[in-house]
Structures are given as structure tokens and as C-alpha cells.
Amino acid sequence: MSPTQPSQPRNPATATPQPAPESARVIAALEGVGVRRYSSGQVILDAVDWTVRSGEHWALLGANGAGKTTLLRLVGALMFPTVGTVEVLGHRLGSVDVRELRAVIGLVSGAQKVPQDATGHTVVLTGATGTVQPLWRKYDAATRERAHELLTELDCKELADRPFGVCSGGQRARILIARALMAEPRLLLLDEPFNALDLPSREDLIDALHRLAVGRPELATVTVTHHLEELSPAIGHALLLRDGRVQAAGPVDEVLTGERMTACFGRPIEVSRHEGRWLARSGKR
């Protein structure tokens, strides 16, 4: 391309998010974190050190019971550690009103309560107030338009007037992501967003998350999943948990290896990558 020729705009569906520099703002920092169940003394998390910076996209993987959801709840200011420190968006848990902190963290979870008869647009609107039911007097024209823009950004504007209860699993996931973005969070947490999705719905959601990463370079995301196939090409970092301890954390090329996946899940696993997408399968014994 000549110096005088204008550059072509990037296609968000195929563009690759730029990796966050080491100097990027720290979004979440955990040091020596442990969580124990008081009733039984069971160790859920132990000696966890982890840092998430702006613009980074993390995958959180491990077998059932490894502590993934507990770790996500800590970063989401939904619980406190038994030992260690957790700082989120510059605030240390235990010295900040977590209700205010939660209001600026985007969270998408299958456990969220959503009125099944509410339209997609209404569900997204409730993200502005952090409520289950809409608070109509709180939503001005700009807020309502913002909800429509987010539905468009997540490629589901046609769901604006459709009841949430009749939407497919993939459509619901995209509506909930749009809802989470109403607060303009710098951190978006996704707790198994691909659960029970069929193949087309999974791919639609992966594409939507990839476009989101490209279009919002400052946004940090953490996605809990069981399957490498669910990771979009935007995922640049991964953390492996086993029995509450970090097995590996860092750039995906260093963490998502057959050797480390085998050690994490306790059975031979082969890992491959093609055009930014991952595949894991049981290896030969």
C-alpha cells in the first residue's frame, strides 16, 4: 500500500484484537488468595496469584469443582477471600462498598433471574439500573436508545420486541451480554455462556464476543468454560485451575499445551489450533 493510499477499515469479524501492553491498567489483582468453607474446612482456592489488565481476554478452565466459579465470584466482588487480597478496578475488597463496585462490573451468568415475558429491549434496559424488573422512570430517551445500540452491536437487534422466554439459548446469551454492557464496564465476566448451546448458536456467540473484543480495545473479559472449542480468537490469556490451585496462567500459546492440559485434567489430552480456534481431544494412553 502506498503512503498516500488510505487504509481500509478493519472487519470486526476477522480482525485480531491487539494484545494489551504490560503497562496496561490493572483491572483485577489477586495475591495469595485462599477460600475455605467454614462449615467443613474444605479448601476451595489456595494461594492464587493472578492479574488481569485492560484489553486482556482470559479463559478460565478446569474440571468441575476446580474453583472456577469461586474465582469468578471473587473478581466480580460477589464474595470475599478467606485469606489474601483482591483488588478490582483499583478498589480492595473489604475497604469498598461492593454494591457500588458490582454496578460497574459486567456479569453474565445462567443463574441470573430474568423475567421471561420481558422483551429483549426491556432486559437490556434493566442493566442500566442493575435490577431484575425494569424501573421505567429511570430510563430516559438516551438510555432506551443505548439499549437498542447494544442489541445491534451484539447482532441481535431483531430480538428487541421478542419475549426473552421464547429466545434460543444463544439469543439469550447475547441479550444478557448487551444488558451487562449498559453500565459501560471495564471488566466483563462470562460464567459458562456457551452452556447447552447448539453448534450454530455457539458459533454466533463466539463471533459476537470476537467483534466485541475488537471494537472495545480497553475492555477486559474473563470467560469460564469447559471446552477449548468455545474460545474465540480474541482470547489471548488462559488460567488453568486444578483442586483450587493455579496450574498455569499466561499467554494462551504457553498455557494451552497438551502437557499442561493433561496435568490439569488428569488424563492425556492433545491440543491443536487452526486459524485462531482451539481443539482438545483425549490423547492416546
Average pLDDT, the chain: 90
Q: What is the DSSP string of 137-186?
A: GG--HHHHHHHHHHHHHTT-GGGTTSBGGGS-HHHHHHHHHHHHGGG--S
CB 134 within 8 A of CB 123: no
Q: What is the pLDDT of residue 41?
A: 75
pTM of the predicted protein model: 0.87
The mean pLDDT value for 22-40 works out to 86
Taking 90 as the threshold, does the pLDDT of residue 5 lie above it? Answer: no
Domain boundaries, the chain: 26-282
Percentage of the residues of the chain whose pLDDT score is greater than 70? 91
Q: What is the pLDDT of residue 39?
A: 75
Question: What would the 3-class secondary structure string for 18-47 be?
Answer: CCCCCCCCEEEEEEEEEEECCCCCCEEEEE
Q: What is the pLDDT of residue 1?
A: 41
Q: Which CATH class is domain 26-282?
A: alpha beta
Predicted confidence band at 38 (pLDDT cuts at 50, 70, 90)? confident
